[in-house]
Amino acid sequence: MIYTVTFNPAIDYVVRLDRPLEVGEVNRAAGEDCVLGGKGINVSGVLRELGCESVALGFVAGETGAWLERGLAAQGLRTDFIHLAEGMTRINVKIKAGTETELNGAGPSIPESAMQQLEAQLDTLQPDDILILAGSIPKSLSQSTYERLLAGLEGHGVRAVVDATQDLLVNVLPYHPFLIKPNDHELGEIVGRELKTDEEITAAARALQEKGARNVLVSMAGNGALLVDEHGEVHRIGCPKGKVVNSVGAGDSMVAGFVAGYLQSGSYEQALRLGTACGSATAFSLGLATKEKIEELFGQI
C-alpha cells in the first residue's frame, strides 16, 4: 500500500477577477473554485488517476477539516486523518487577476499527542509499503519531524519517498530513503554550487547517494529530469511539448507517476517516463493531471 502524509492540508479558495485587483476597494469575482489539497493529497490524487490505491494521512481540524475530508471521499480518495480538538484546517485565498495574489492560512497547531497518533498509524505499515513525505513542516512541529518518523520506521522494510528541501531532505539521508526528489536548484543549494550541466547534476546526485539516498530524481522544469538509480545507472529524459499554465502540483505529480510506474513495471526507466508525463500533464493543465492527459503525453516521450 502507498501512504501519503500531509501535515497541513488546505482548502484553496480560488477567485478569478476580470480586471486588476484594487486594494481597499470592493472587487467582484468573475468566477471561483474550491480546490482541496496539500502536497501529499496531490500525490494521492494523481495516484488515483493512475489506478494506484493510496491512503492519505495527516491532520484536520474543525468544520473546514470535515469539509475537506468529505470532499476527498467524494473524489474517491481513501483518508485516515487524525482529528485535532482545536483550530481549523486552513483556507488559502488565491486571487487570479492577471498576476496572482495569495493569502495562505496558518493551519492548526499539532500537539505532541497527535504526533504520537501518527506514529502509531505508521507503526502498522508492512514491509514494501511506500510512505511519501512531501513539503514543509508546520511551525508547531520540530524541523526534525521527518527524521523522527523515519527513525521510527527503521527495520520495518518500508520504502520512504521524501520530497523536501535543504536540511529537511539532507537530514533524512542516513535513513536510506527509497527516493528523494530535489529540483536542480534545490540540489545546487544542498551541495553549495550552481549546477549548469548534466554532469554536474549527476555528480551532486551521487553525493546524496553516498550519504544514504537510494534513488535521486532531479526535476529540471522545462529541461526534463535526471535520475541516478540505486544501481548507479543514469537516466536522462526531456519534456513533451506543451504550454505551461500551472506549476502547482507538478512536482507532486512527478512523484506519483514515478512511484506508480516503478510499482507497475519494476523499471526505473519506465518510472521516469511516467513521472515526467504526470508532471508535464499537471503543468499543462489548470488542475492536477488527468488519466487522459497523462496517457497523451506518455505516448510522446
Question: Looking up cell 470592493, which residue turns up?
Answer: 26
Which 8-state DSSP code applies to residue 137? P
Check: CB of residue 86 under 8 Å from CB of residue 108: yes
The residue type found at 45 is G
DSSP state of 111: -
CA-CA distance, 57 to 94, in Å (whole number)? 25
Distance of alpha carbon 300 from alpha carbon 125, whole angstroms? 37
**Superfamily of segment(s) 2-6+38-63+109-298:** Ribokinase (3.40.1190.20)
Give the pLDDT confidence score for residue 222 in this predicted structure.
82
Q: What's the pLDDT at 135?
A: 83
DSSP state of 183: B
* Nearest-angstrom CA–CA distance, 55 and 147: 21
User: 15: closest CA among 33, 3, 1?
Assistant: 33
Rounded-to-integer distance, Cα 198 and Cα 202, Å: 6
Q: What pTM, to 2 d.p., does this model score?
A: 0.93
Where does the chain show beta strands of DSSP type E? 2-6, 10-16, 31-37, 54-61, 78-79, 82-84, 90-97, 99-103, 130-134, 159-163, 179-180, 215-219, 225-228, 234-237
For residues 262 and 252, is the Cβ–Cβ distance under 8 A? no
- Output DSSP code: residue 286: S
- Average pLDDT per block of 10 residues along the chain, 301 residues long: 96 92 94 91 96 96 97 96 97 88 92 97 96 91 94 94 90 96 93 92 96 96 92 93 81 96 96 96 88 88 81
- Cell numbers representing residue 100 in the block: 496572482
List CB contacts of 192: < 8 A, sequence separation 6 or more.
none
pLDDT at 136: 84
Residues marked as catalytic = 252
Distance between CA 182 and CA 92 in Å, rounded?
25
Planar angle of CA 268, 158, 139, nearest 5 degrees: 100
User: Closest by alpha carbon to 272, among 243, 222, 245, 234?
Assistant: 234
CB distance 119 to 149 below 8 Å: yes
Q: CA 151, CA 146: separation in Å to the nearest integer?
A: 8
Nearest CA to 141 out of 281, 235, 8 is that of: 8
The enclosing H or E element of 50 equals: none
Question: Domain map of the chain by residue range?
Answer: 2-6+38-63+109-298
